[in-house]
Amino acid sequence: MIHFMKKAKTVDYNPIRIEKKWQKKWASSRIFQSKEDSKKKKYYVLDMFPYPSGEGLHVGHPKGYIATDILSRYMRMKGHSVLHPMGFDAFGLPAENYALKTKTNPAASVKKNVARYKKQLEILGADYDWSREVNTTDPNYYKWTQWIFLQLLKKGLAFESYEPINWCPVDKTGLANEDIENGRCERCGALVEKKPMRQWVLRITDYAERLLNDLEIENIPKFYMSKGTDAWRPGEKVTERMAVYCIVKHWQDDKYLCMKWKKNDWRGYVIGGIKVDESAVEAGIRETIEETGYKNVIFKRILGKADCHFYQELKKENRVAHATVVYLELKNEEQDSITDEEKVIQDIEWVERSKVRDFINREDLKYMWDLYTGDAKEQKLLDWPESIKTLQKNWIGRSEGALIKFKVKSEKSTIGLSPVIPAKAGIQCEKNGASDSTLDSRLRGNDKKIEVFTTRPDTLFGVTYVVLAPEHTLVQKFLEVIENKSEVEAYIAKSKNETEIQRTDETKEKTGVELKGIKVINPANNEEVPVWISDYVLADYGTGAVMAVPAHDERDWAFAKKFGLPIKFVIAPLNLNSDKVVMSTESAFIDFGSLINSEKFNDKASESVMKEITAFVGGQWVTKYKLRDWVFSRQRYWGEPIPVIHCENCSKNNPAGKGIVPVPENDLPVVLPKVKSYEPTGTGESPLAAISKWVNVKCPVCKGPAKRETNTMPQWAGSSWYYLRYMDPNNKKTLVDPKKEKYWSPVDMYVGGAEHATRHLIYARFWHKFLYDIGAVSTIEPFIKLQHVGLIMGEDGRKMSKRFGNVINPDDIVKTFGADSLRLYEMFMGPFDQQIAWSSSSIVGVRRFIEKVWKLREKIVPSKSKTSKSAPELDSIVQDSKKADRIIHKVIGKVTKDIDDLHFNTAISALMITVNELEAIESISREQYEILLKLLSPFAPHVCEELWSAIGNKKSVCVAEWPVADKSLMSDDEVKIMVQVNGKIRGSFMASVDSSDADLEAKAREVKEVKSWLEGKSVVKIIVVPKRLVNIVLA
RNA sequence: GGGCACGUGGCGGAAUUGGUAUACGCGCAGCGUUCAGAACGCUGUGAGCCAUGCUCAUGGAGGUUCGACUCCUCUCGUGCCCACCA
């Protein structure tokens, strides 16, 4: 036993005492306040801010907060300027319903809940910069939520609508499509009804394409064009604002093609427009051939996508294009002469690889080049889990198809209709149609048309009827001309009364009514087919009308069977697989009959065939999205007032304005008034409507009497932009100062629950893109990396809920084990994004680990140079030190990589192994112990801070430098080599790390256990994997 | 019906490009310490067997390979999301 190592008796580990102590010190020293420091790289790590319910936190909630805290502390130690804020999302139904239940004012209960949440968060020891706290219900905050709404209004992206919307009869409010789960209100579970009412809607569908496409953008473009109509050359049809940009390698040397513009001596790359039906790669090859004359151009890879700003010589103007950057190689020097036109403009130069960067004159393109040459690490624009991307893609639901018009023919003779149908003024005949297309003008002359959307125009010949949604606007007009008006009206009334869930129940038999007296004409073969209405057709998808092809569609099939409608089978009016289409108006079908089970016709025609058919019948090829516009008003009290004033007078003067006057920006915020009764009215009016003092205002335009909008915004409004406000929480003049926004944007890491995939994350991306378009933010996407938190389930495996009585309160765990143990345990449970059941008995393991680290301190001996020990003592210390160095330096890399990859469980496991190994050693140095503390400090900050200061450090471990592994200290001299015979482990031996393959092979043959297996057998071959194994293959 | 994940001891889970399956932790068992318990320490812990060792084991069945938890095909099961989307 080495006695000099004995220290004064170490105080026992007491988490409660040390955790309080350090939390106070951290707060008073303001060590965690974020600053824009241009000398440092920034790191913005964000939690999905909590919704402070009355229940308080359970142990599942902190999991994500602990992870971001680890990342925040880790990145700070790595020298980043870190932004790690926290705030509260407190408007909306749950807070209001809770207040109603407890008969308190929502403002009061929110205040109480926030205080409680904050306290619960504080005992975890997170390094939040509380000076940046935001609260969505604070007028200083929602002033800017309202401001964003006004900008949306200005751009025509917010509008009033009277279409039927989803209505929750229990919560007494309209709901967005995203707020519905299986036909029920996501909040209260009530069956959702369809109810027509005035509401505010945001045109999120205008952004559908970008929301979808940008999920796949891989690199970071600096610019983004939202609109563009350029063609490249007069008369040349090219894809809108799409370009290709080519880096072309020499056929022999490591040189690259540089275009020199003769006129201004500007150097650049081959640029070209991408034609319709041409891929970026094809365009790149074509343009390179056209501009340089080189004949044999080979595609190698796509380097990335960016926006290209350049001067186009031929048209003499500046151009911007969304560009794909391709890397090409020339096969040989064969070259045709190029056109004179091209010759005049440019020359070709070959430049060395190292000079390429000089003629790539833009940062983002340089970045791509660096990516190709391996100098830059690939960074995705959206480094999101594939599953979330897929969820969003499915939610946005893009599909391409044809809009096809069916002429309506009313049988005047049959129904005795007068030639002139009484006009119903102003009613629109088509969805989004022109307002002049009133029924009388259209039906006279039988030129009224029903427009359908289909993804299978190739089945057009099999259409045997057309179905409209009961809510389709045309149905109301047809009522005047059909024979069975009352029957149809009854059906419409019935489906109106049915809830969404009843209507969409798949097991339900199809229902519907024919509109008798009306036929439509199939434009493919001029055949007359009947028109039906049925609730299996959705009013708000496509055009609200379908062409029914019972032979090719299950739903149409069920409907046709039920009502005895003909089933006609498309027998290829054309060869489905050929690109050449021969069209004719001859009926290209046979009676369906017994062919139902035939698989002969399951093939879909190619897209080009379908496009040709569409053109043949005068239809349009279009893209449709499942995504619906965002119903943005709630008939409830607890939300941001929509900053709009209704003025009848201004309506008279300006019919286009419909009497909507935006609240002037200077008058913001429109403060939510205090109110005695905030019970929802259920009438479609919010409780605010009852406060006449608040409602009645002067019109800001004409100064006449006017009324405030009384609907409020949905819960998702405030959370759609809060991450921006953290960057500059107290700015009175703008939403966020552009300088600060440029420094901190975008969010580098966003951690939260997967349940927000199709709501918050779509809404926030939508608002962010809009804010980008109006110049309020500088990036096109708000969150670079997104990470899910896997739920922590109750010990019984069910969701943690009061209902099941399986809720574990983190406060209790902190009391018994300490916050550090809770933090370590939640991270050690398993993979971070995985759902795992809580196990209270397992926490003791991480607590034991902390105690081991605590006791390990007793093994510290002073550094060799400072001691005056006897030789044998010194020798043993030196031996220990070598061993300990190897152990500790090996784990640095492992922990660093694991934190980078969010593999917290394996990082902790590696630290446990390290501590176990160090325990087996007699002595360690202070330096080695310090490395251990630094590595552990993001996970268990309190105990590490305590030990760090106990061994004599004055500055906090939070600002210590993250250790870097010294490779010379960590390498083993010897490794264990496994020996396999025919792939099965039979023995092992030790060998020095630099042994040659032949050496290893020879040694392997000599291993005792192996020898007996080799006896009398011939060796076929031997596989040597250096530092790992030798496999001897026998005949 | 469509989409996306995922199946490894008694439990949570480890396992670089295919290269010692079950690391780490819990639990369990034995021993020590203790008046006793808790706590702690040490040892053991996939299964089976004719046991110095051998055979079988990563949901199941095949395949590729010198070698498969890892790759491919099929299949069974579980979870999540969307769903009459034309």
Q: What does the DSSP assignment read for A205-221?
A: GGGHHHHHHTTS--S--
Q: What ipTM was assigned to the predicted interfaces of this complex?
A: 0.94
pLDDT at position A84 over 60: yes
- The pLDDT of residue A315 is 52
Gap from A760 CA to B71 C1', in Å? 38
- The pLDDT of residue A362 is 60
Gap from A987 CA to B18 C1', in Å? 20
Strands A568-570 and A173-175: unpaired
Who among residues 959-978 of A has its Cβ near strand B, under 7 Å?
976, 978
Composition of chain A by helix, strand, coil, percent to 5? 40, 20, 40
Give me the helix-helix angle, A941-950 and A926-936, nearest 10°: 160
- The pLDDT of residue A75 is 97
Who among residues 398-457 of A has its Cβ near strand B, under 7 Å?
399, 401, 453-456
**Distance between CA A1035 and CA A980 in Å, rounded?**
14
- The pLDDT of residue A107 is 92
Instruction: Answer positive or negative: Cα dihedral of A420, A425, A431, A435.
Output: positive
Instruction: Answer positive or negative: Cα dihedral of A993, A998, A999, A1001.
Output: positive
Of A600 and A1000, the structure prediction assigns the larger pLDDT to A1000
Strand ranges (DSSP E) for A121-210? 158-161, 164-168, 173-175, 180-181, 184-185, 193-196, 199-202
Who among residues 179-198 of A has its Cβ near strand B, under 7 Å?
180-182
- Is the CB of A753 less than 7 A from some atom of nucleic acid strand B? no
Query: Of all nucleotides in the shown strands, which has a C1' nearest the CA of A505?
Result: B84
Closest CA to A82 of A95, A69, A66, A91: A69
For residue A585, what are its two tokens? 């108006």
Who among residues 977-1006 of A has its Cβ near strand B, under 7 Å?
978, 980, 982-986, 988
Gap from A504 CA to B1 C1', in Å? 14
Least confident of A218-222, A711-715, A957-961, A968-972: A218-222
- Is the CB of A509 less than 7 A from some atom of nucleic acid strand B? no
Residue A641 pairs in a beta bridge with: A712
* Own/partner long-range contacts of A357-360 (Cβ < 8 Å, ≥24 apart): A358/A267, A359/A258, A359/A267, A359/A268, A359/A269, A360/A269
A438 — pLDDT class (breaks 50, 70, 90):
very low
- Is the CB of A838 less than 7 A from some atom of nucleic acid strand B? no
Q: Could you read off the pLDDT of A565-585 as tens digits, one per residue? A: 888 766 544 443 333 444 433
Q: Could you read off the pLDDT of A599-648 as tens digits, one per residue? A: 344 456 667 777 878 888 888 888 888 898 999 999 989 999 999 999 88
Give mean pLDDT, residues A845-856.
Answer: 92
CA A1012-A1015-A1016 angle, 5° bins: 155
Q: How far is CA A944 from CA A15, A107, A265, A842, A857, in A?
A: 11, 40, 61, 22, 11
In chain B, which nucleotides are within 7 Å of a protein Cβ? 2-5, 11-15, 19-21, 23-27, 39-42, 53-55, 66-68, 79-86
**Distance between CA A104 and CA A329 in Å, rounded?**
72
- The pLDDT of residue A672 is 94
Q: Could you read off the pLDDT of A140-198 as tens digits, one per residue? A: 999 999 999 999 999 889 999 887 788 888 888 888 888 887 777 888 878 888 787 88
Gap from A1028 CA to B71 C1', in Å? 21
Give mean pLDDT, residues A591-600.
Answer: 35
pLDDT at position A357 over 50: yes
pLDDT at position A383 over 60: yes
- The pLDDT of residue A291 is 82
pLDDT > 70 fraction of chain A, expressed in percent and rounded: 81
The pTM for the full model equals 0.81
Residue lying closest to nucleotide B16, CA to C1': A894
Residue lying closest to nucleotide B6, CA to C1': A834
- The pLDDT of residue A364 is 59
**Distance between CA A308 and CA A223 in Å, rounded?**
8
- As a whole number of Å, the CA-based R_g of chain A is 36
pLDDT > 90 fraction of chain A, expressed in percent and rounded: 33
Q: Are A625 and A398 in contact (CB under 8 A)?
A: yes
Q: How far is CA A788 from CA A431, A830, A833, in A?
A: 40, 13, 5
Q: Could you read off the pLDDT of A807-824 as tens digits, one per residue? A: 899 999 999 899 999 999
Gap from A992 CA to B16 C1', in Å? 21
- The pLDDT of residue A677 is 80
> How is residue A258 annotated by DSSP?
E
Query: Of all nucleotides in the shown strands, which has a C1' nearest the CA of A903?
Result: B14
- The pLDDT of residue A48 is 94
Who among residues 1015-1034 of A has its Cβ near strand B, under 7 Å?
1021, 1023, 1025, 1028-1029, 1031, 1033
- Is the CB of A29 less than 7 A from some atom of nucleic acid strand B? no
Gap from A984 CA to B20 C1', in Å? 10
Of A538 and A601, the structure prediction assigns the larger pLDDT to A538
**Distance between CA A444 and CA A1011 in Å, rounded?**
100
Give mean pLDDT, residues A133-142.
Answer: 96
**Distance between CA A938 and CA A952 in Å, rounded?**
20
Query: Of all nucleotides in the shown strands, which has a C1' nearest the CA of A835?
Result: B79
- The pLDDT of residue A103 is 85
